[in-house]
A and B are shown apart, each in its own frame.
With several copies, the nearest count.
Chain A
Amino acid sequence: MTFTNIGLHNLNQSGLDALQFSLMGMALVFAGLLIIAIYIALLPLLLKIGTGKPKQAETSDSTNREEEEEILLAIATALHLHNNFPDGDERITWKSHGDMESPWLVSGRMHSLNSRKLANNWNR
């Protein structure tokens, strides 16, 4: 670069109208962030509409009972594991919850396995 090439003519070289391009560029940046802003502003409304319908409390009772039963089973499992498997002997490992160092975590998994049947746990 030799500084011999300073000038406004540089803004219009090799088929590029730099000024128009820059305006277009700013417009795109604004467009992207503006659409995001609008989306964010509208989302809570959309979610309210979306969750308005399925708010049927009907299944909750049977679900709760089923869930409770499973919790009891999970606790039983946990106690069983705790009593029959000496410490450090078994770690089921990997995926979802890292090492399972305590039987309570296993029970947590058992429980979540059951809760897969529950439809509206999206909000947890």
Chain B
Amino acid sequence: MDLLSFYNNSGFAHMEWINLIMIAVGVIFIYLAVTKDYEPLLLIPIGFGIIVGNIPPIEGMPLSVYAKGSVFSYLYLGVMKGIYPPLIFLGIGAMTDFSTMLSNPKLILLGAAAQIGVFLTFLGSLFLGFTPQQAGAIGIIGGADGPTAIFLSSMLAPELLGPIAIAAYSYMALVPVIQPPIMYLFTTKKERRIHMKPPRQVSKKEKIIFPIVAFLICALIAPGSMTLLGMLFFGNLLKESMVTERLANTARNSLIDIVTILLGFSVGASTQAQTFLTSQSILIFALGAASFVVATMGGVLFAKLMNLFLKDKINPLLGAAGVSAVPDSARVVHAVGLKEDPSNFLLMHAMAPNVAGVIGSAIAAGVLWSALGNF
């Protein structure tokens, strides 16, 4: 009980430089969120979680997310068991307006095309020696959808959940940096200037029927997507039915906020440098970046392919919104379009491939899960 034993029980005794690196990463996340407004709702909880997770815990004391019986381990259960992501999807469903998608169904296919990033990254990860389960979980980073990535990792490769989640959210935050160069590279100035027709009005009836039918289609084709899409479309039905406004309101406010806080913090706190900073993690970050690039390419090029057959040309920038990363990639599309032609307003149109991309990657996750899961 002397000074030495106190020192040995303090964080100073066990702090390693790799923990300091991770703490610096956490601080950078918070800095980016505060000063650059990059996805602050995700980066601040994750960033602070990283800082907390890299304080060296006292040997045997129930402190870290990995310590049996610790409070953080209970909060982390919602990540490990895959409970938080569907609840977030419930809230997102209660926020999402599928109107533009309903008014221009052609744009939905762009959300399918962008999923090429998922499968190419899957193949790349296999090539580099990851197991099929790990490769599937890494591939889904290309879906650009945080909750989907966390859900699939927790089911297929929980040992990689930390790096996959951090990679997914980092790149989602960096969408305004990653996507524009690729969009410029694969489109001509003339293409970027294509104006879209204003969408038609969508009736209440169409909006109410949509979540039910869309759920049935997706769940029958890929039952593995039932958990995420069931909650997404359930939330949307709560919103569109007009008679459950108070439930939709709670789902898209208190509920999603509580889950976002717990999810972000505990994912961040799971990144102890000792298990996080491995060569695997670096590979995952490289694969994740590649996957975002490929997905963006996939969307843009598929739009150009569709234009070969369509009379009313699609602005191929919209393809980039197919990666999802809702709603940031839609905003990036809008911003690039505006740069080229200050009268070209793509934001609302970009929401169609954007939300279709969410559905698309949930289907992809369902397919990967059902084929690769260890049941």
Within 8 Å by CB, do A and B touch in the complex?
yes
Residues in chain A within 8 A of chain B (CB atoms): 1-8, 10-11, 13-26, 28-41, 43-44, 47, 72-73, 76-77, 80-81, 84-86, 89-96, 98-99, 106, 109-110, 112-116, 121-124
Residues of B within 8 A of A121 (CB): 35
Q: Would you call B127 and A11 a contact (CB within 8 A)?
A: yes
Query: In whole angstroms, what is the CA distance A44 to B109 when docked?
Result: 19
- Could you tell me the distance in whole angstroms from the C-beta of B191 to the nearest C-beta in chain A? 20
A-B contact pairs, 10 of them (CB 8 A): A1-B280, A13-B126, A18-B123, A32-B112, A33-B112, A38-B105, A41-B105, A76-B342, A92-B327, A113-B332
Q: Residue B334 contacts which of A10, A25, A77 (CB distance < 8 angstroms)?
A: A77
Q: Would you call B356 and A90 a contact (CB within 8 A)?
A: no
Residues of A within 8 A of B309 (CB): none
Q: Residue A29 contacts which of B95, B101, B112, B343 (CB distance < 8 angstroms)?
A: B112
Within 8 A of A (CB), among B180-210: 198-199, 201-206, 209-210
How many residues does chain B have at the interface if contact means C-beta atoms less than 8 Å apart?
91
Q: Would you call A36 and B214 a contact (CB within 8 A)?
A: yes
Residues of A within 8 A of B372 (CB): 16
Residues of A within 8 A of B118 (CB): 25
Q: Residue A14 contacts which of B36, B132, B283, B326 (CB distance < 8 angstroms)?
A: B132
- Chain B contact residues: over half helix, strand or loop, or mixed? helix
Q: Would you call A11 and B126 a contact (CB within 8 A)?
A: yes
Residues in chain B within 8 A of chain A (CB atoms): 1-3, 6, 34-42, 91-92, 95-97, 99-102, 105-106, 108-109, 111-112, 115-116, 118-120, 122-123, 126-130, 132, 135, 176, 198-199, 201-206, 209-210, 213-214, 217-218, 221-222, 243, 246, 252, 256, 278-280, 283, 326-328, 330-332, 334-335, 338, 342-343, 345, 347-348, 351, 356, 359-360, 363-364, 367-368, 371-372
Q: Residue B132 contacts which of A2, A18, A47, A72 (CB distance < 8 angstroms)?
A: A18
Give the one of A4, A17, A73, A96 with max B CB within 10 A: A96
Residues of A within 8 A of B42 (CB): 95
Q: Would you call A96 and B37 a contact (CB within 8 A)?
A: yes
- Chain A contact residues: over half helix, strand or loop, or mixed? helix
Q: Would you call A86 and B201 a contact (CB within 8 A)?
A: yes
Q: Would you call B205 and A47 a contact (CB within 8 A)?
A: yes
Query: In whole angstroms, what is the CA distance A6 to B332 when docked?
Result: 36
Query: In whole angstroms, what is the CA distance A93 to B37 when docked?
Result: 16
Q: Would you call A77 and B331 a contact (CB within 8 A)?
A: no
- Could you tell me the distance in whole angstroms from the C-beta of A94 to the nearest C-beta in chain B? 5
Query: In whole angstroms, what is the CA distance A82 to B65 when docked?
Result: 45
- Could you tell me the distance in whole angstroms from the C-beta of B177 to the nearest C-beta in chain A? 9
Q: Residue A25 contacts which of B35, B128, B367 (CB distance < 8 angstroms)?
A: B367
A28 with B92, Cβ < 8 A, contacts A47-B203, A80-B345, A81-B347 known:
no
A36 with B246, Cβ < 8 A, contacts A6-B129, A85-B348, A112-B37 known:
no
Query: In whole angstroms, what is the CA distance A89 to B343 when docked?
Result: 21
- Could you tell me the distance in whole angstroms from the C-beta of B197 to the nearest C-beta in chain A? 10
Query: In whole angstroms, what is the CA distance A113 to B37 when docked?
Result: 8
Query: In whole angstroms, what is the CA distance A118 to B232 when docked?
Result: 32
Query: In whole angstroms, what is the CA distance A95 to B172 when docked?
Result: 12
Q: Residue A26 contacts which of B102, B115, B347, B356 (CB distance < 8 angstroms)?
A: B115
Q: Would you call B252 and A94 a contact (CB within 8 A)?
A: yes
A19 with B129, Cβ < 8 A, contacts A33-B112, A89-B99, A109-B331 known:
no
A8 with B127, Cβ < 8 A, contacts A90-B100, A110-B331 known:
yes
Give the residue name and chain of the A residue nearest to B37 (CB): A112
Residues of B within 8 A of A13 (CB): 126, 132
Q: Would you call B126 and A18 a contact (CB within 8 A)?
A: yes
- Could you tell me the distance in whole angstroms from the C-beta of B351 to the nearest C-beta in chain A? 6
Q: Would you call A33 and B123 a contact (CB within 8 A)?
A: no
Q: Would you call A122 and B360 a contact (CB within 8 A)?
A: no
A36 with B39, Cβ < 8 A, contacts A1-B130, A28-B6 known:
no
A37 with B109, Cβ < 8 A, contacts A29-B367, A94-B92 known:
yes
